[in-house]
Amino acid sequence: ILNVEQSPQSLHVQEGDSTNFTCSFPSSNFYALHWYRWETAKSPEALFVMTLNGDEKKKGRISATLNTKEGYSYLYIKGSQPEDSATYLCAFEGASQNFVFGPGTRLSVLP
C-alpha cells in the first residue's frame, strides 16, 4: 500500500513568518509530485507539478523542492499572509498511473 505522509498536520504562524511543510512519498515508481492549495468550501488549486529530481518551482511567495531519490518534497511560504491560510496537499503520481494524496497540512496565518 502506497503511503504519502505530510508533516506537520497543522501549523499556526504569525503574519510575516516564513514556514515550510514536508511531503514524504515512495522513492520508487515515481512519475510526478503535485502540490495543491485547498481553501475551505473551494476546489483545490494546483500549485506545482514536479517531475525531476532536484526540481525547484516558485510561484510568488511559495516555492517547492523535490528529492525523488529519498522521497520527499518541501513547500515553503515566505512572509505568510492571512490569505495563505488553507490546507496544503501533496499527491504522489506513480508510473503505474496511481495517484495517492497525503492527508494535508492545515496552515493558519494569524494577523
Partner 1 sequence: GAGVSQSPSNKVTEKGKDVELRCDPISGHTALYWYRQSLGQGLEFLIYFQGNSAPDKSGLPSDRFSAERTGGSVSTLTIQRTQQEDSAVYLCASSLRRGKDTQYFGPGTRLTVL
Residue 75 to residue 62: CA distance in whole angstroms? 7
Binding flag, residue 26, partner 1 (CB under 8 A): no
Q: How far is the CB of 62 from partner 1 (least distance, A)?
A: 14
Does 96 sit near partner 1 (CB under 8 A)?
A: yes
Residue from 11, 86, 91, 109 binding partner 1 (CB under 8 A) = 91
Before 8, cis peptide (omega within 30)?
yes
* CB-CB contact of 29 with 96 (8 Å): yes
Site for partner 1 (CB under 8 A): which residue of 11, 21, 25, 34? Answer: 34
Cα 46 to Cα 7: distance, rounded to the nearest angstrom: 19
- Which C-beta is closer to partner 1: that of 97 or that of 111? 97
Stated length of the chain:
111
Does 40 contact partner 1 by CB under 8 A? no
Of 44, 55, 63, 78, the one binding partner 1 by CB under 8 A: 44
Min. distance of Cβ 111 from partner 1 in angstroms? 28
Under the rule (CB under 8 A), what is the footprint of partner 1? 31-32, 34, 38, 43-46, 49, 51, 89, 91, 93, 96-104
